[in-house]
Amino acid sequence: MKRRTFITLLAVGPVAACGRPAHATIRGLTMGTSYTVELAAPIDDAVRTRLTQLIEVELAAINRAMSTYDARSELSEFNRRQDLGWVPASRGLLEVLDRASQISTASQGAFDVTVGPLVDLWGFGPEIRTRRVPDDAVIERVRQSVGYQHVQADLSAGAIRKRDSRIQVDVCAIAKGYGVDRVAMVLDRQGVHDYLVEIGGELRARGTTAAGKPWRVGIERPVEGRHVVGEIVALENRGIATSGTTEDFFEQDGRHYSHIIDPKTARPVERPPIAASVIADTTMEADAWATGMVVLGPERGYSLAQARGLAVMFVTASGSTFDVRVTDAFRAHLLG
Ligand code: AMP
Ligand code: MG
């Protein structure tokens, strides 16, 4: 849903030394970024055409439901709504808002899809505007229209509602992960069982590579403007997502202001550059938690992740070196 310069994130697909990793690759553009599907087995032209078509249809439906860059999307329409009553919603939007609300509660409000007005205020929204630190009074005013408790999804009734008309939902921190899960489901339904799906650095793997090995993913970090692979993880039927404060930011008076907003302070997370990677059963969960973990930071986030058994890795830059902190559940995925 958002185009951004792509700095710290994942090396897509299997990293070096995997031998011949994939027999077929399908690529395309979606959500303001690119997607890649790596298949372990070769496919003929007819199968490629069919799979590509099914994937594109699925991704287009997700964009129509939840892009905030499309004023006609279902979510944009919901955001404009002043009425506080229940309104029927598509399955995708329901699932995303329901899971978002659970992760908001579990992350003590660090992950919050209602940060939309703050994202816009700080200049990271769909509208192109000059990025500068807003006035305190304006920040105070805008924060009044943020609060995840003000959006509800009722899966059984198939409806959503807002409890405050000022609420603006921004699903950028979870939608790519959801898209990956949906593309994986398309492949499952077509009987494809060995694949790696990636959208804008969020990713999911199933089965094995052509060599019969688990898919391996290198997690990159920026070193002097280049991308260098740091840790390598093996993924079996899991999703992984990474969020970072060096992905999209501006600087003013020597301070760093990132696109990830702490809903508690209504300001970009204050800390040196930091990235968090999360491995979970679904990429949607990994995506949301990765954003939440950046907000919580390597101390509070680490304790929470350990307590919940979440697989999280924090990378913080200190001078020219990196501090890496992994939870027990994450360590189990590390290679080497
Ligand atoms: P991600 O790249 O998945 O970490 O998502 C970051 C994007 O999510 C930002 O560009 C904002 O649009 C939005 N966002 C910023 N802060 C938060 C937050 N605390 N919770 C949820 N979404 C956020
Ligand atoms: Mg995210």
**Residue 55 three-state SS:** helix
**Residue 330 three-state SS:** helix
Q: Which residue has the tokens 């009987």?
A: 191
Confirm or reject: Cβ of 287 under 6 Å from ligand 1.
yes
One-letter amino acid of 304: L
How far from the centroid of its chain's Cα atoms is residue 112's Cα? 13
What does the alpha-carbon distance between residue 221 and residue 275 come to, in Å, rounded to a whole number?
A: 9
Closest atom of ligand 1 relative to the 200 alpha carbon:
2
Q: What is the DSSP string of 265-287?
A: TTEE--SSSEEEEEEESSHHHHH
> Is 2 in contact with 31 (CB distance < 8 Å)?
yes
What does the alpha-carbon distance between residue 152 and residue 114 come to, in Å, rounded to a whole number?
A: 11
Cα end-to-end distance, the chain, whole Å: 35
144-185 pLDDT per residue, tens: 999 999 999 999 999 999 999 999 999 999 999 999 999 999
**H helices of the chain, where?**
45-66, 74-80, 91-106, 116-121, 136-143, 175-189, 283-308, 328-331
**Residue 209 three-state SS:** coil
Q: Which residue has the tokens 């994939």?
A: 22
What does the alpha-carbon distance between residue 222 and residue 229 come to, in Å, rounded to a whole number?
A: 9
Confirm or reject: Cβ of 124 under 6 Å from ligand 1.
yes
| Residue percentage of the chain with pLDDT more than 90 | 76
Average pLDDT over residues 213-238: 83
Average pLDDT over residues 84-113: 98
Confirm or reject: Cβ of 2 under 6 Å from ligand 1.
yes
Q: What is the pTM of this model?
A: 0.94
